[in-house]
Amino acid sequence: MNRYTNKVALLTGVASGIGRATARRLAAEGACVFGLDIDQTGLAETEAEITSAGQQMSGRVTDIRSVQECRAAAEACVATYGGIDVLGNIAGIANQRHVHQVTEEDWDLMNDINLKGVFFLTQAALPHIIEREGNIINIASNAGLMGQAYTVPYCATKGAVVNMTKALAMEFVKHPIRINAIAPGGVDTSLTANFKVLEDADYSLMARYTGARPSTQPEQIASLFAFLASEEAQNIHGSIVSSDGGLTAE
Ligand SMILES: NC(=O)c1ccc[n+]([C@@H]2O[C@H](COP(=O)([O-])OP(=O)(O)OC[C@H]3O[C@@H](n4cnc5c(N)ncnc54)[C@H](O)[C@@H]3O)[C@@H](O)[C@H]2O)c1
């Protein structure tokens, strides 16, 4: 499929996991990918892989916690490829803590990456998305749709991403743009590989969100992203689309 010929995709978190798989998928379908990440090495690897396949990607080291860096990245994307058709807010972090262990620094870091970065990159990209009648996809989580023990700050940020997506969709409902979110369940990425379950965790509390089915691969989320951000999904606006093996079906 070549659904992204002449389209420009600004994506965060492309050094790893879901972001890297999405960059690969959109580039393979013809997009010019402008990829952001704080991890310079991983970013360069993704860029080298895509460009050596004869596809288009330009990487820019960016810390999405900085509003200035978000604005500069959106402008750099426009300067490089002429506009923005798709914004994918993919970068994020997760960890486990008991509520009483969460420090102010933990809280701020989680919120600055998972929530503030999403909002301010969206704000910076929106005029360009409107100009191209494009669309935005935020990567939320099943954790934004259900309560989970030991991840209260993560759940709070992802719940906020879910409702921010809907609020944005309402504010821009009269514009010919689309704003949606994907809520993945467990996906095999560095985020899950490095996820340390608390030594004293009560597994009976975690049973309902560890799921009956195995976790999936990032390519599954990239495939849904590539559909949702394409012309094929023209009627989908303000939706939270789950890809979680039934985790949130109950
Ligand atoms: N893996 C899962 O099971 C799962 C499930 C649901 C939702 N998600 C969400 O999917 C998204 C991608 O996660 P992943 O699993 O691919 O993780 P990942 O760790 O493989 O990738 C996350 C990327 O975000 C980048 N990043 C972190 N902080 C940043 C910052 N300040 N500025 C710019 N980039 C930054 C990292 O360097 C990394 O490349 C996240 O929003 C995560 O919450 C993941």
pTM of the model: 0.98
pLDDT higher than 90, residue 211: no
Indicate which residue's Cα is closest to atom 26 of ligand 1.
91
Enumerate residues lining ligand 1, CB below 6 A.
12-13, 15-19, 36-39, 42, 62-65, 90-94, 113, 139, 141, 184, 186-187, 189-192, 218
The answer to whether the CB of 230 falls within 8 A of the CB of 26 is no
Q: Is 90 helix (H, G, I), strand (E, B) or coil?
A: coil
List CB contacts of 185: < 8 A, sequence separation 6 or more.
Answer: 142, 211, 215, 216, 242, 243, 244, 245, 247, 248
Among 70, 148, 191, 224, the mutation site with the greatest number of ligand 1 atoms within 8 A of its Cβ is 191
Query: What is the mean pLDDT of the segment spanning 153-159?
Result: 98
Predicted confidence (pLDDT) per residue in 76-127, tens digit: 999 999 999 999 999 999 999 999 999 999 999 999 999 999 999 999 999 9
Predicted confidence (pLDDT) per residue in 78-90, tens digit: 999 999 999 999 9
Query: What is the mean pLDDT of the segment spanning 235-240?
Result: 98
Ligand 1 centroid to Cα of residue 174, in Å, is 31
Write out the catalytic residue numbers: 154
Mean pLDDT for the chain overall: 97
17 residue type, one letter? G
Query: What is the mean pLDDT of the segment spanning 126-146?
Result: 98
Q: What is the pLDDT of residue 231?
A: 97
pLDDT higher than 80, residue 250: no
Ligand 1 centroid to Cα of residue 87, in Å, is 15
**Cα gap 241→227, rounded to integer Å:** 11
User: What is the fold, at CATH topology level, of the domain defined by 8-243?
Assistant: Rossmann fold (3.40.50)
Query: What is the mean pLDDT of the segment spanning 183-192?
Result: 96
Ligand 1 centroid to Cα of residue 236, in Å, is 24
Full DSSP string of 92-152: -------GGG--HHHHHHHHIIIIIHHHHHHHHHHHHHHHHT-EEEEE--GGGTS--TT-H
Ligand 1 centroid to Cα of residue 232, in Å, is 26
